[in-house]
Each structure stands twice: as C-alpha cells, then as structure tokens.
Structure 1
Amino acid sequence: MDVQITFDCADPAGLAAFWAGVLGYRVQGPPKGFETWDQALDAWGVPPERRNDASAAVDPDGTGPRLFFQRVPEGKRAKNRVHLDVRAAPGLSGDARMAALEAEAGRLVARGASRLDRHEPSPPLGAGHIVMADPEGNEFCLD
C-alpha cells in the first residue's frame, strides 16, 4: 500500500518546492513524453491561470510518501489537526539534539519557514523539539 499526504494550499508549486527542500525530495517531473510541465499542460489545453492548481514532491529513493499540493480558495484558519514531524536529530539527546534541531530550524527559516516555539527536553518522556510553520502557516515539528 502506498501513502500520499495531501496539503490544501494557495501556492502548490511554491509549497512543493519548500517541502522538497526540507525533506531531500524533488518536485515531481512531467509525465513521460514531455520535457517540461508547460509542454504537458499545453498539450492538455490547461489555461495559464490553472497551471498552479496542483504540484507534488516525491522521494528520489521511492520509499517515502508522495506529497501532493492542491490549490483551494480558502486560507488556513486554525491549528493543523495532523502535522509532519521532521526527524532532524535521530539518535541524539540533550544539548547535541537541541543544537542539531536549532541548525535545521535555521536552514528552514532561510527557505521560508517560520519558527513558532521551542520545547526543552523534559526526561524521561520529552526529548525536546521545535515547532515550525511552512510558508503557508502549516505547523510541523523538528523532532
């Protein structure tokens, strides 16, 4: 069984590029027989104003889930009910873990993310994490 994670958003191409950069994915290329998406969309008769209705990011290794981004007319209004945890410090703990999370937070802020909150380690159950938001305000955690 394959899993796809779908994001409702205002800018599918922009969000696909953001998440591809976060996760080491790539923006999904055009279908076979086309060198570019514009060629495919021209062939299918898709008007220019509809060309950013959808985009996707895929794991280049083919093991992670496909991320699909679809344009919707309404903006985000409340906290996400589901969010992604980006595992940025696997196997690390304490100060080393938080330093790795801070470094990743800095990289993602430079790509357009926002930093929302930092939760300090609280042993034995809490290892510490940083809450972030993508360019459209969707929350995710650096864990």
Structure 2
Amino acid sequence: MAISLEHITFDCANATELATFWGGLLDRPVDEGASEYFATVGRSSGAHPVLMFIAVPDKNPGKNTVHIDLVSAEWTDEIARAVSLGAKHIADYDEFGTKWATLSDPEGNLFDIGCGL
C-alpha cells in the first residue's frame, strides 16, 4: 500500500481570506462553498495536493508548521506578484548554488519562492 499527499492544511483565522491569497499566488480558484471557517483550493479542478484552510480559535503552540517551497523561472516576478497579493518579502538567499526568497503570507506563514531553471 502506498501513501500519497492529499491535502496541505493551514490552521488560520479566516479560511476564505487565506485561501484567496494562496489561490491567487498559485493561479487557482478558491473552490465553491468557501466560508470564513473552511475553504479549499484545487479540489474542483482536480489539482493535487489540495490546499485546505480551517479556521481555528487559537493556533496551537508546538503544533507542526508547514513550510511550502515554490519554484519559478521568473522567480523575481513571482516574488513581486506575491507581495502584491499581500505577502511580506522577508529575505533573499543565494547558498549552495541555489537562489530563493523567503516570504510570509498574510497570516505570517513562511514560504519560499526559488529560482527554477
């Protein structure tokens, strides 16, 4: 039996707002039925993994956090686009032959956009 990645789940304050950010960044629509409590991106289009956003009253200290790495040949343009959608550009890196930028989404979750060839 094989295991496969089904969802990447974000605990958040407002599911629709965070789903709208990530859907915009990945150029995928927020699925129908989204509310401030629950939203998904990718389910209706058959994309995998599906991004799932669940409102929680308090983020649990010590709970695992998710770090998403994205890649694009036009990485500087994508960084600017992410910022225009509400991301904060934290820092740029050039190490071990790889270039990437670390950003945070509107709720402070970190993610990277790397330079793809």
Identify the TM-score tier after normalising by the shorter chain.
0.7 to 0.9
Greater Rg by CA = 1
SS of 1:105 mapped into structure 2: helix
Question: Are 1:26 and 1:59, in contact at CA under 8 Å, matched by a contact in 2?
Answer: no
Task: State the match for 1:113 in structure 2.
Answer: 87
Does structure 2 conserve the Cα–Cα contact (< 8 Å) formed by 1:116 and 1:132? yes
**Amino acid of the residue matched to residue 71 of structure 2?**
R
Residue 126 of structure 1 deviates from its aligned partner by 3.1
Kept after mapping to 2: 8 A contact 1:25/1:60: no
TM-score, with structure 1 as normaliser: 0.67
State which of 7, 32, 46 in structure 2 corresponds to 1:29. Answer: 32
Which blocks of at least 5 consecutive residues in structure 2 are unaligned? none
Over aligned residues, Cα RMSD in angstroms? Answer: 2.3
Q: Distance in 2 between matches of 1:61 and 1:87?
A: 21
| Contact in 2 for aligned 1:117/1:131 (Cα 8 Å) | yes
What is the CA distance between 1:69 and its match in structure 2? 0.5
TM-score under structure 2 length normalisation: 0.81
- Identify which of 29, 32, 39 aligns with 1:55: 39
Identity %: 33
Distance 1:14 1:87, change over 3 A: same
Q: How far does the alpha carbon of each residue in 1:39-89 deviate from its partner, in whole angstroms, 9 at most, with x for none?
A: xxxxxxxxxxxx5111111166523211110111125868x7431111122
- Contact map agreement 2:31 2:44 (CA 8 A) in 1: no
Q: Match of 1:70, SS?
A: strand
Relative to its length, the structure with more helix (as a share) is 1
Cα distance in 2, alignment partners of residues 118 and 60 from structure 1: 34
In the alignment, is the contact (CA less than 8 A) between 2:19 and 2:40 conserved in 1? Answer: yes
Question: Measured at CA, do residues 102 and 77 of structure 1 come closer, stay the same or move farther in structure 2, by a change above 3 Å?
Answer: farther
- Whichever structure has more strand as a proportion of its residues is 2
- Number of the residue aligned with 2:103: 132
